[in-house]
Amino acid sequence: MTDAEAVRRVSLALPRAFEQQVAGRWKLKVGQIVFTAFSKDEQAFGFGFPREERDALIASAPEVFFLPPQRDLRYQWVCAHLPLLDHKEMRELVIDAWRMCTPKMLHELPELPAPAAAVWALLDAGAISEAGPLLHPQLHWQDRDLELRGRNNVLRHLREHPRPRPPESVEVRDGQVYRWFR
């Protein structure tokens, strides 16, 4: 069982995601693309889902999943009753919907240990100083041929060369990113 607040927590932890109210309903977006939206009472939500697979999803649990209104059938979209959906499945559906509207280079970020996605989201937004506390003081940073050691050296480099690509793997120590590998 899950609810709208759980969907928000999962969605807003994803890089580039934000929430916006449109026509009285809350929607979670990346850029101009909606990947998750709530009914007005927030008991149901819709999410991006491949059109060719939605009939199978609905058939797998018709009490949970349903088609969107007729006017929205042209979109890659499915709806679900939140109280009937378990948290693990909701998380998978939300992340897959988010992946449908983000560049492929970001797709593995939700699977990396925390706080890797949060660090990359801050770097992507240009908030380099805010990322500092999430980086270990003895950070090992490798981005292809570039290798840096120490949080201050990495932050200095990022100020001069903003917008790194997301990591392929990380190691976390004491809740901070200790190794960043791309």
Q: What is the pLDDT of residues 90-140, one digit of tens each?
A: 999 999 999 999 999 999 999 999 999 999 999 999 999 999 999 999 999
> Domains of the chain (ranges plus CATH)?
4-102 (3.90.1150.30), 109-181 (3.10.450.50)
Dist CA 71 CA 28 (whole Å): 20
pLDDT at site 164: 85
Q: Give the mean pLDDT of 149-171.
A: 92
User: Which residues make Cβ contacts (< 8 Å) with residue 26, sequence separation at least 6?
Assistant: 4, 19, 20, 37, 38, 42
Residue 6 falls in which region: left (phi positive, over 0), alpha (psi -120 to 50) or beta = alpha
Cα-to-chain-centroid distance, residue 11: 6
At residue 72, does pLDDT exceed 80?
A: yes
At residue 163, does pLDDT exceed 80?
A: no
Q: Give the mean pLDDT of 149-172.
A: 93
Q: Give the mean pLDDT of 51-55.
A: 95
> Where is pLDDT greater, at 163 or 55?
55
pLDDT tens per residue across span 12-42:
999 999 999 998 899 999 999 999 999 999 9
Amino acid at 179: R
